Amino acid sequence: MVKIERNPTPPLSLAIEKQKANGAYNKADVIQQLKKDFHDKCYICELGELSDPEVEHLRPHHGRKILDRVFDWNNLFYVCPHCNNLKKEAKYDDKIIDCCVDDPEEMMEQSYEDGHVNVHSIMNEESANVTAELIQNCFEKRNTGIREAACQYRVNRLAEVMNVLYKTLEKHKEHPESERYIRSLRAALGRKSVFAAFKRNYVRKHIADYPKLKDFLA
């Protein structure tokens, strides 16, 4: 999870649909704007190019009992079905970091090592602790066959991305003046990239080896 800059202007359909008895909060203009703002990534696991995205409410509306939350543009997030399903557990209600307001990287560390994901909070705040647990579970909670497959798929994609990063970092270390590798790393470490939090955390932890990359983590 990384900081997202949301377009402050709500899609037009939200105000129109709110006036209907069973209005939809996931019309095409909403999905298109979320896809753009969230860089076509699930905001929780950061898997990209979602073929089946869902529109998720950060703060639950409890079966439309809190109608303002249903159509509140600032409460709508771009998510994959796997993470959305996990987040529906009541323990996450009203306790997840709003990544459009706060910077998750200042509150958590997200690491990948030896085929496993480790996410933990770095500040003593409930939202950081609970969000870290949710992200951890999105990669590691394998209590059903379907979740086993979904988690492993995400770990496999993350491993591929991290391996590319490791190789590019080695090339950069061997050829520190090469613009080719600097350009590649600038793109890889940008918040728009898939699994950005994991890549940025790795470089941040090893910044002494790659001092030229410090500005890419800003």
Closest-CA residue to 105 (of 97, 93, 117) = 97
42 domain residue, yes or no: yes
Question: How many folded domains does the chain comprise?
Answer: 1
Segment 112-130, tens digit of pLDDT:
999 999 999 999 999 999 9
Residues of the chain with pLDDT under 50: none
66 domain residue, yes or no: yes
Q: What's the pLDDT score for residue 65?
A: 93
pTM for the model stands at 0.94
172 domain residue, yes or no: no
By residue range, what is the domain housing residue 60? 12-92
30 domain residue, yes or no: yes
202 domain residue, yes or no: no
Closest-CA residue to 169 (of 157, 156, 186, 153) = 186
Q: What's the pLDDT score for residue 80?
A: 98
Count Cβ atoms within 10 A of the Cβ of residue 7 and give its class: 0-12 exposed, 13-18 middle, 19 or more buried. exposed
